[in-house]
Amino acid sequence: MGSFSIWHWLIVLVIVMLVFGTKKLRNIGTDLGGAVKGFKDGMKAPEAGEESKEQIAQTASAAADKTVDVHAKDVNK
């Protein structure tokens, strides 16, 4: 009784189709597919992110050239 059999899922599917209708389910599927496609396209577009990384690296190296290396003294001696 802990897990559902295939018959339970088929009955649930039939009830969902009766409640929402096939047209609404098709629209939900289309919207979900478009969202997944948009997410994948967003994950594949690292070009803009890489330019930012290059700019950050250049800024960091320029900042490293301007830093002053100092040694701390022990005042308690």
Instruction: Work out the percent of the chain whose per-residue pLDDT is above 90.
Output: 14
> What is the Cα–Cα distance from 29 to 13, expressed in whole angstroms?
14
For residue 25, give every residue at least 6 positions away whose Cβ sits within 8 Å of its Cβ, in sequence order, or none.
16, 17
pTM: 0.40
**Structural domain boundaries of the chain?**
22-63
- Report pLDDT digits (tens) over 37-68: 988 888 876 655 555 666 767 776 666 666 66
